[in-house]
Amino acid sequence: MSAAALAAIFVTSFGVGFTGALMPGPLTTVAVRESMQRGFWAGPLLAAGHSLIELALVVGLALGLSRFLVEDPVKAGVGIAGGLFLLWMGIHILSRPPEQLTAVGQPPSPSNPGATAHNSSWRRRWLRSPTGGEAASESPARMAAVLMSAAILVSVFNPAWVAWWASVGSAFISQSLEQGAAGVTSFYVGHILSDILWLTLLAFVLASGRQMMSGLVYRAIIVLCGLFLLGLGTYFLASGLVIVS
């Protein structure tokens, strides 16, 4: 076991992971939506849930799970189930009433009562505890459970995530295993740090600037997120059906 080899695994894993994290995907879309509604802590909590499912997957791949993921029935099932899940997410986002989509970031008014709880001491709230936005009455424990569960579901039902781990990820694991458990640990830490950094930075920017964002811009971003998920879901669903046929 070489310290230089472990450092190389960590740096490479972080670089590749950060490049992938920057690409638009379901988890980033959910992070945008939830950070604008719940505040800064949505980012770290989503990253924590994503970290847990990736830890389980890394362990599974190290034990030989990659051979199972490349089977056509598995790829078809993941594509169809993931496509349907992403379609459901997109429809859920787009079906929200317009008055809910414009509540965040707007000053309290008779026509926009939903902004009152959100605007109350928001600068202190998003730095102090995982509450805020329309989730002001939500307990920190419940918020953590909801967001971490959401991150796990979004990850598992994202066929691109499964495909990446079945190919690129499993190759990284194979190389990391040459350095034993320490090599796999270096790979995992480097990879997940890239996700944590990106989601936390994204949440920080959105939570900091949401008060300056007009309701129209906020609504446009949410609609774009919904349309993106519909397009991605349609693509993955079609890909899975092609394998079945």
The pLDDT of residue 55:
95
Nearest CA to 159 out of 91, 93, 69, 245 is that of 69
For the chain, the C-alpha Rg in angstroms (whole number) is: 19
Nearest CA to 115 out of 220, 210, 224 is that of 210
The overall pTM is greater than 0.85: no
* Max Cα–Cα distance, the chain, nearest Å: 66
The pLDDT of residue 168:
74
**Residue 210 to residue 225: CA distance in whole angstroms:** 16
pLDDT tens-digit series, residues 28-63: 888 988 888 888 899 999 999 999 999 999 998 888
End-to-end CA, the chain:
47
| CB within 8 Å of 225: residues ≥ 6 apart | 29, 32, 33, 93
26, 158 Cβ separation under 8 angstroms: yes
pLDDT tens-digit series, residues 128-164: 333 344 455 568 888 999 999 999 999 988 888 887 8
pLDDT tens-digit series, residues 74-124: 778 878 887 887 788 778 778 765 554 444 444 434 444 444 333 434 334
